[in-house]
Amino acid sequence: MSRHLADAAKKFLLLGQCVPTVKQNATKIRVKRLELDENLLMYFRKDDFYYCHDPEKKCNTGDIVLIQALPRKLTKLITHEVKEVVYPFGDITDPVTGKKVAKERYREDIDREAEIYGKLKSGFDYNKAPPRGWQDGKKDFTSKPTYTKFHVFDENDPYAV
C-alpha cells in the first residue's frame, strides 16, 4: 500500500518559490507545507527544498513555479524539473480576475483615478517601467546567494553580509 502512495506522490505537481542557488543548470525551490504536531494537535509550517532541472533558466529568484518529479534522478540532488512559472516575482496578478495588482488595488483602478483627478508628477507608470531583471549583475544582486561572513580573508566577497 505504501509503495503505491510513494509512486503516486512522484506524479503530483508541487508549487514552490525559487530561492538563490549556485548550481549551474538547476534552481532551488522552497515548497511550504504544514506538518501536524500530534501532541498539540496544531499544524506548523515546514519548508522542503528541491533542486530542479532548469537548463533554460526559466525562473528567477522569487518566482512562484510548478515543479514535477523526474522519472529518474539526474544527480543526487536534482530530482525534479520546472514545469512552468506561474507568477513571476514583482508582477502580481490576481488569480481570480486575472488583473494586474499594485499593492492592494488594481492597476486599472489606479490609472482611472489618475485620469479623473490628474496624474501626479511623482506617480509611477507601470506601462513605461523596464522589465524585471534589467539591473541583474549591475545593481541588483538578489539572484546571488548571500551568507554571513564569520572569518576575514584576503579576498573580498561582494555577496557576504
Give me the DSSP letters along 63-125: -EEEEEE-SS-SSSSEEEEEEEEEE-TT--B-TTT--BEETTEEHHHHHHHHHHH---TT---
Q: What is the pLDDT of residue 142?
A: 66
Longest dimension (CA), the chain: 66
In this prediction, residue 117 has a pLDDT band, given cuts at 50, 70 and 90, of confident
The amino acid present at 73, given as its one-letter code, is K
Q: Are residues 74 and 15 in the same domain?
A: yes
Q: Are residues 71 and 39 in the same domain?
A: yes
Q: Using alpha carbons only, what angle is made at residue 55 by residues 53 and 61, rounded to the nearest 5 degrees? A: 75
Give the chain's domain count. Answer: 2
Q: Are residues 69 and 124 in the same domain?
A: no
The amino acid present at 61, given as its one-letter code, is T
pLDDT digits (tens, 9 = 90+) for 13-67: 999 999 988 787 889 999 999 999 999 999 999 999 999 998 888 888 889 999 9
Whole-model pTM over 0.85: no
Q: Are residues 48 and 83 in the same domain?
A: yes
Tell me if 60 sits within 8 A of 132, measured CB to CB.
yes
Q: Are residues 108 and 65 in the same domain?
A: no
Q: Are residues 17 and 77 in the same domain?
A: yes
Percentage of residues in the chain having pLDDT higher than 90: 30
Q: How many helices (H) and strands (E) does the chain have?
A: 2, 7
Q: Chain-wide mean pLDDT for the chain?
A: 82
Q: Using alpha carbons only, what angle is made at residue 152 by residues 147 and 154, rounded to the nearest 5 degrees? A: 110
Q: What is the pLDDT of residue 30?
A: 95
Q: Is residue 44 part of a domain?
A: yes
- In this predicted model, which residue has the larger pLDDT, 15 or 88? 15
Q: Are residues 11 and 83 in the same domain?
A: yes
The three cell numbers locating residue 66: 510548478
Percentage of residues in the chain having pLDDT higher than 70: 76
In this prediction, residue 1 has a pLDDT band, given cuts at 50, 70 and 90, of very low
